[in-house]
Each structure stands twice: as structure tokens, then as C-alpha cells.
Amino acid sequence: MRILIIEDENKTAAYLMKGLAENGFIVDAAADGNAGLSLTDDYDYDLVILDVMLPGRDGWEVLSEFRRKGKTTPVLFLTARDSVQDRVKGLELGADDYLVKPFAFSELLARVRTVLRRGPVRQPDVLRIADLEIDLLAHKASRGGIKLDLTPKEFSLLALLVRKSDEVLSRALIADQVWGMNFESDTNVVDVAVRRLRTKVDDPFGKKLIKTVRGVGYVIEND
Ligand code: CA
């Protein structure tokens, strides 16, 4: 899952980037609206976190422009003022949720997950394949009712395979979506991570869900 933060305060941006990265997200940051909008042309984000008070074009202008371009990516805006007017304006302009500064990181993370779960197209909270169950909201996975102890990256990897079940995902795509690495990077990282994921998701169970497609990548199939 890739998130863009548009925030001019370096300290806040760095703090959010670090926290979100630790929770398995790929995070980019832009310090003003134009830089942010241009990044949204280059990448498909799952969520944009947008500060309202920005130099040059403020968050409202950025949000309007973003929606005018037909982008349906969810937007979570950050406002320093807890005023009803502000909130209404943001939601009217097409934001999905908001947070009033200052906020605790845990609060932001909860909000981010809620917005991501809704997505541009509403997704169910819980995805199931065979006896595998993934709770996108709670960030938990289980097989046959047994909780799987996954790291945030392992969860992201498994969630990606399940969300795109029946699609063979190339190592490059997985590297990009889960680690934010490009194709030139060492995609061996993907093989190592899949191997580790299998020891938790497949090895203890009878039916193997993660399949290798030789020379291509990996897939989880619905059958
Ligand atoms: Ca600001």
C-alpha cells in the first residue's frame, strides 16, 4: 500500500513517514501542493494525507484539483483548527476523512486503516480464501481459526496476494507494491520474503495456498 503525505512541516512529515513505514506502508512525501499533485500523476497511491495549511496552493485547492482530475484515491486531511466549517468544507471538496492537529500517531494509523479499508471502491473488511482469513481493518490473518504471527511486511505481502488472487504477480510488481523498490533492485528480497511467509501461512497446514509460477512470480488461487 502506497501513501503520499503532502505536508510542509518537515518534522511532521518525517514523523509520519517513519511511523507509516514501520507499519508496512510505502510512503512518499511532498512539501507543497504542486509537488504532491505531480507525484499523484506518476504513482498510483492508495491514500493521500493532505495538510490544509500549505505554502502556495493550500490543501483545499490541491484537493479540488485532485478531484477535478478524476482521481478517486481517498484523501485524509489534516487541519489545525477544529472547526465544523473546516470539516464540512473538506468533506464537500471530496476528502474522505480528517484529523485535527495535534494527534497521536495511533489515531492517525487507525484513521488511515479505516480509510484504506473503504478504498475508492468499497472493499470488504475481511477477505477469505480457503481457510485463510485476512482482516484488513484489524491487520490480522488466520488460517483455520489459528492466528498467524506476521510482520507488517509479511501482512502486506499476503494481503496483496489475496486482494489480487488469481492474478500471477511478478516479483517486480510485488517489490514495488510491498517495498517500494523498482525492478532494478534485488528482487531476491521477494523470494526470501515469500519463503518466510510460507513457513507461517503454508507449512503448518495441509493445503498450500501460495503457488510459484516459474519464471513469472507468485499467485494465490481461489478454487
Ligand atoms: Ca502545514
Instruction: Give me the phi and psi of 6, to 5 degrees please.
Output: -110, 105
Please give the pLDDT value at position 72. 83
CATH architecture of the domain covering 126-220: Orthogonal Bundle (1.10)
Task: Tell me, in angstroms, the distance from the centre of ligand 1 to residue 50's CA.
Answer: 9
Task: Tell me, in angstroms, the distance from the centre of ligand 1 to residue 131's CA.
Answer: 46
Cα gap 109→112, rounded to integer Å = 5
- One-letter amino acid for residue 167 of the chain: E
Please give the pLDDT value at position 205. 93
Question: pTM for the full model?
Answer: 0.58
Cα gap 187→29, rounded to integer Å = 24
Task: Tell me, in angstroms, the distance from the centre of ligand 1 to residue 59's CA.
Answer: 9
Task: Tell me, in angstroms, the distance from the centre of ligand 1 to residue 85's CA.
Answer: 18
- One-letter amino acid for residue 94 of the chain: G
Task: Tell me, in angstroms, the distance from the centre of ligand 1 to residue 10's CA.
Answer: 9
- 37: buried, middle or exposed (CB in 10 Å: 19+, 13-18, 0-12)? buried
Using CA atoms, how far residue 128 sits from 69, 73, 191, 199, 213, in Å, is 34, 24, 24, 19, 22
Task: Tell me, in angstroms, the distance from the centre of ligand 1 to residue 44's CA.
Answer: 24
Q: For 5-45, what is each residue's pLDDT tens digit?
A: 999 999 999 999 999 999 999 999 999 999 999 999 889 89
Task: Tell me, in angstroms, the distance from the centre of ligand 1 to residue 13's CA.
Answer: 10
Cα gap 51→38, rounded to integer Å = 16
Please give the pLDDT value at position 54. 94
Using CA atoms, how far residue 24 sits from 58, 88, 180, 221, in Å, is 29, 31, 10, 24
The domain spans of the chain are 2-118, 126-220
Please give the pLDDT value at position 122. 45
Residues of the chain scoring pLDDT < 50:
122
SS (H, E, C) 114-174: HHHHHCCCCCCCEEEECCEEEECCCCEEEECCEEECCCHHHHHHHHHHHHCCCCCEEHHHH
CATH architecture of the domain covering 2-118: 3-Layer(aba) Sandwich (3.40)
Please give the pLDDT value at position 121. 56
Please give the pLDDT value at position 123. 53
